[in-house]
Amino acid sequence: MTALLLLPLLLPFALPALARRALDRLAPVAALWAVTGCAVVLAGSSLAALGSFVLVGLLKVPLFAALGELIHPLRTASDLVVLPAAATSVGALAVCGWTLVRSVLHQTRAFRAARTEAGCGPAAGDLCVVDSPRPDAYALPGRPHRIVVTTAMLRSLDGPEREALFAHERAHNAGHHHYFLAAAELAAHCHPALRPVRETIRLAAERAADEAAAVGVGDRRLIARAIARAALAGQVVHSERPDFAPAATTGPVPQRVQALLAAPLVPRAGRAIAALLIACTGVSCAASVVGLADFHHRVEVAQGDERP
Per-residue pLDDT at 250 exceeds 90 = no
Nearest-CA neighbor of 145 among 288, 244, 61?
Answer: 244
User: Average pLDDT, stretch 206-229?
Assistant: 92
d(CA 23, CA 32): 8
Confidence band for 294, pLDDT divided at 50, 70 and 90? confident
Confidence band for 58, pLDDT divided at 50, 70 and 90? confident
> Which of 29-43, 103-117, 165-179 has the least mean pLDDT?
103-117
Per-residue pLDDT at 114 exceeds 70 = yes
Residue 137's SS3 state is strand
User: Average pLDDT, stretch 211-220?
Assistant: 92
User: Average pLDDT, stretch 45-70?
Assistant: 83
User: Average pLDDT, stretch 284-300?
Assistant: 83
Beta bridge pairs of residue 148: 128, 138
20 versus 291: the higher-pLDDT residue is 20
**Residue 48, CA distances (Å) to 55, 170, 196, 201, 302 in order:** 11, 37, 21, 23, 21
Residue pLDDT, tens place only, 91-107:
999 999 999 999 999 99
**Residue 20, CA distances (Å) to 14, 17, 31, 171 in order:** 11, 5, 9, 22
- Per-residue confidence (pLDDT) for residue 299, from 0 to 100: 76
> Which of 42-51, 54-63, 197-206 has the least mean pLDDT?
54-63
Verdict on whether the full-model pTM lies above 0.75: yes
Per-residue pLDDT at 73 exceeds 80 = no
- Per-residue confidence (pLDDT) for residue 39, from 0 to 100: 96
- Spatial neighbors of 235 by CB under 8 A, at least 6 apart, are 249
Nearest-CA neighbor of 96 among 194, 17, 7, 6?
Answer: 194
Per-residue pLDDT at 207 exceeds 90 = yes
User: Average pLDDT, stretch 46-69?
Assistant: 83
Confidence band for 238, pLDDT divided at 50, 70 and 90? low
User: Average pLDDT, stretch 224-250?
Assistant: 80
- Per-residue confidence (pLDDT) for residue 104, from 0 to 100: 92
Per-residue pLDDT at 232 exceeds 90 = no
User: Average pLDDT, stretch 126-149?
Assistant: 87
